[in-house]
Structure 1
Amino acid sequence: MAQPTRAVWIALLLAAGPASAFGLARFAYAVLLPPMQADLDWSYATAALLNTVNAAGYLIGALVAARVGRRLGVRQAFLLSMVTTAVALGASALSTLLPVLLGLRLIAGATGAVTFILGAALTASLASAHPGRSSALLMGVYVAGGGLGIVVTGLLLPATLAWYPAELGWRIGWAVLGVVGILAWLMAAPAARRVPEPPPRPAGSRAPVRGMIPLLSGYTLFGAGYIAYMTFIVALLRGDGATDVQVSVFWIVLGLAAIGGGFAWSPVIGRLSGGRAPALLMVVVALGAGLPLFGSHPVLALGSAVLFGATFLALVGSVTHAAHRVLDPHQVTDGIGILTVGFAIGQSIGPLLSGILADSADGVRAGLALSVAVVLVGAVLFLGQRRHVPTTAADT
């Protein structure tokens, strides 16, 4: 089994998975949304629909990920889903038709979920030899890959949009994402082959859903709340007069904070049991998301990027780590899949509700206010999670 230092390096390479699933397939759309919205004459509700469909795809992927992993093997399915995600992203450059773009966002969402869940299962398998805080660190390193994806898109996409006219720039942006997705696959492939397959689930044994209801419900509300911020924050900054450089700086700071957060929060996540770590991080996420509600000053925007960025992916890691701690090893893949289903349901609902509210009320800030309230409720629900989930074969 890998030594601790080697295990961290393997986790870093596996982190190309969430870099693709989150940073490219999920969050990069926020940077491309304003020029697409202007070029294609979309309302906020239509713009949100693409993220809602992407989240619906994520839900589909979450439902089938464990089954696909058992059928193809976790390593093989993880790498295949990364390639498919990259192809779907690159193909989005080829059409202006809403149904086509919706279909590609659906595919990218589904394969992104499979990538994240199976990559997390591989990381949990790697972490099984490094219990306690080391386990939290490895999962934090893995999830922090989403921050790396955000940094890369922050460096590449605003520059691309500034270089080309709006009607061409967003197309080039999607093509760039496709190429970066292939590069991410090339990074993850050798690491995935160095990790043993997670233990197979015995027949009739499933992750006990009833014992994870607080974790599941809190994670569902997190999915609904955080995604409104990630969908519309760039549109809010643009509406407040932010330049291309300011948007790029914001996005890069957000991504760098997300990378650092995976390391910074791991000692806290390792010490707090049950749902206490996710609850704490949810409060910080709400603080970060709420800062832009107090004005348009750049300091508020950057403070939001730091607080939100350093915490939201670490929260994903804390929930995944909690599942790893409260479930038996053979239940972890299914357990992460169940939690991701709830997360995906929240992601499907959140952008659409926030988009409709943004169209009908006080602009994008109204949608962000809703997301803050939802996240705070989720923090309370997390606190009900017990330290250990009783194992029963019949519990589903």
Structure 2
Amino acid sequence: MGTKSAFNWVTLWASLLFVVILGFSRLSYGMFLPGIQRVLGGSYGQLGILGTVNFIGYLVGTLCLSPLISRFTDRKQVINRMTCLLLGLTLIGSALSDDFTQLGLWRFIIGLLSAIATVLVLSIAMDAVRPAERGVASGLIWLGGSAGILVTGLFAPFTIDPLHLQGWRYAWVTMGVFGVIAAIGFDFATRKRGVVTIPSQTESKLRDRESENVYRLLLNPKRFLFLITSYFFFGAGYIVYFTFLIPYLVSKGTPSLYTGLIWSGIGFAGLFNGWIGGKAIDRWPSGYTLALGLTLGTIGVFGITTNNLLFTVLGASLIGLVSFITPPLMTTALLRRDIPDHLYAVCLSIATAFFASGQIIGPIIGGIVVERHGLQFGVASSAIFMAIAALLAGLYGLQQRKLEVRDLPISS
């Protein structure tokens, strides 16, 4: 079946899945951290390690995906279906954790499944969209993550307030049920649209030969190296901010309702981010566009250093508006423009592995900084990673302009 516009049932259900894949399964942990600490105990450094465990699972998932796709080239839809269903169920399982070991195991599995789901949902959904509208479609899908952040913040009075010790458990169960429903809806929509195609034996052999050049393509400084290393540093920076922002606000005595609204504000701003970022990358498909969003995000992080709640809120809103969803959607869109369809899933999984590696390093460094210098300095340290990501994105834009990357053959 032919490709569709950016607005279709496939992208809608994909966006709802990203509510779960990003907003619920990964970033809700930072929101629920104070409640989890009251029940399970531990320092923020130890709880930060559990965040690292989640992203180790995420890295393992991305590394497993490439050989999995190569081995089962005609089973992408089946793998995605099972992964998304299991992701919803593991969210429910994590709510039943009684100690660090159990929660750590669930967080690892959730990270693994969310990595696979991120790449496959994007890949399957992009196959259903006309090339000229894939930036907008990517924005629509990624804004699901912002919606997840927004909804998670609304749970704050029931997950942060000491009067509701078990609130985070009930929230995760609710999120898991929603995840199962979204997985079923996306699977039904893609089957109905006939999105998935089965490659011939000749196409499969061609893919095997060309996939050998994927690493050389991505790690070439004249092609995508600056882009994926920017993605790495963004992963490290944003996860430090999102892991320790809520604990910092709670430590300052900010009421749970206001804390939740700040978190939801990031998600609300991110809803516009997905639309604006998608439009921008379609019109200006350049690393410079990505660098601008990352630079503004770096400025937003510094709002927390003012010790002023208003500036902290404005900074958080700026991050949500221009540099929360923008880097992932722009990175995936830029790769989608310049990489052949049959190599996209593999290339995206490798780029996502760089992103996951950054997310592993971020909480470790952030946890150390928090333990030594306090929560405020720990959150502010994310600006260093964001600034490096912006610089690398700018270098990628410079490389695009100098060598006209989009016009180069894939084998060069």
Structure 2 residue 40 is matched with structure 1 residue 21: no
Structure 1, unaligned runs of 5 or more? none
Which has the higher mean CA deviation after the structures are superposed, 337-346 or 74-83? 74-83
Q: CA deviation at 1:164?
A: 7.7
Q: Is the 8 A contact 1:93 1:175 kept in 2?
A: yes
Residue type at the aligned position of 1:326: D
Moved more, 195-204 or 54-63: 195-204
Given that 1:293 and 1:365 are in contact with CA atoms closer than 8 Å, whether structure 2 keeps it comes out as yes
Query: 2:172 — aligned with what?
Result: 174
User: Contact conserved, 2:56 with 2:356, CA < 8 A, in 1?
Assistant: yes
| 2:142 corresponds to | 143
2:166 aligned counterpart, secondary structure: helix
Q: Is the contact made by 1:279 and 1:383 (CA closer than 8 Å) also made in structure 2?
A: yes
For residues 294 and 164 of structure 1, the distance between their equivalents in structure 2, rounded to whole angstroms, comes to: 28
Aligned AA for 1:308? Answer: I
Partners in 2 of 1:80 and 1:280 — Cα distance?
38
1:307 corresponds to which of 282, 303, 318: 318
Q: SS of the residue aligned with 1:182?
A: helix
Partner residue in 2 for 1:291: 303
Task: Note the aligned Cα RMSD (angstroms).
Answer: 2.1
Bigger mean CA deviation after superposition, 245-254 or 173-182: 173-182
Task: Say if 2:240 is the partner of 1:235.
Answer: no
Structure 1 counterpart SS, 2:224 = helix
Q: Is the 8 A contact 1:44 1:356 kept in 2?
A: no
Provide the secondary structure at the position in 1 that maps to 2:141: helix
1:83 aligns with 2:85: yes
* Equivalent runs, 1:15-54 vs 2, <5 Å: 15-54=15-54
Q: Distance in 2 between matches of 1:19 and 1:245?
A: 22
Q: d(CA) in 1 for partners of 2:118 and 2:169? A: 26
2:410 alignment counterpart: 391
Name the stretch that deviates more: 180-189 or 101-110. Answer: 180-189
Give me the TM-score of the superposition, normalised by structure 2.
0.88
Residue 335 (structure 2) pairs with residue 323 (structure 1): yes
CA distance in 2, matches of 1:92, 1:262: 29
Residue by residue over 1:86-129, the C-alpha shift from the partner in whole angstroms, topping out at 9 and shown as x without a partner, is: 111111122222111111000000100111101111132123x2
Structure 1 residue 295, shift from structure 2 partner: 1.6
**Across the two proteins, how many residue pairs are aligned to each other?**
386
**Amino acid in structure 2 at the alignment position of 1:370:** S
Instruction: Report matched runs for 1:245-264 at 5 Å.
Output: 245-264=257-276
CA distance, structure 2, for counterparts of residue 381 and residue 162 of structure 1 = 37
Paired residue for 1:272, among 284, 299, 321? 284
User: Which stretch shifts more, 118-127 or 18-27?
Assistant: 118-127
Q: Secondary structure at the match of 1:384?
A: helix
Q: Which moved more, 1:175-184 or 1:142-151?
A: 175-184
- Residue of structure 1 equivalent to 2:103: 101
User: Does 2:209 align with 1:204?
Assistant: yes
**What per-residue deviation string (whole Å, max 9, x for no partner) do you get for residues 263-301 of structure 1?**
12222211223422221111122122221121232x223
Where does residue 60 of structure 1 map in the other structure? Answer: 60
- Contact 2:3 / 2:127 at 8 angstroms: preserved in 1? no
Which residue identity is paired with 2:14?
L
Q: Secondary structure at 1:26's aligned position in 2?
A: coil
The question of whether the paired residues in 2 share the 8 Å contact of 1:8 and 1:138 is answered with: no
2:232 match: 220
Give the corresponding residue for 2:376: 365
Report the TM-score, using the length of structure 1 for normalisation: 0.91
Aligned partner of residue 15 in structure 1, secondary structure: helix
Identity across matched positions, percent: 26
Structure 1 residues 202-211 or 102-111, which shifts more?
202-211
Q: Identify the residue that residue 4 of structure 1 maps to in structure 2.
A: 5
CA contact (8 A) 2:91 2:173 kept: yes
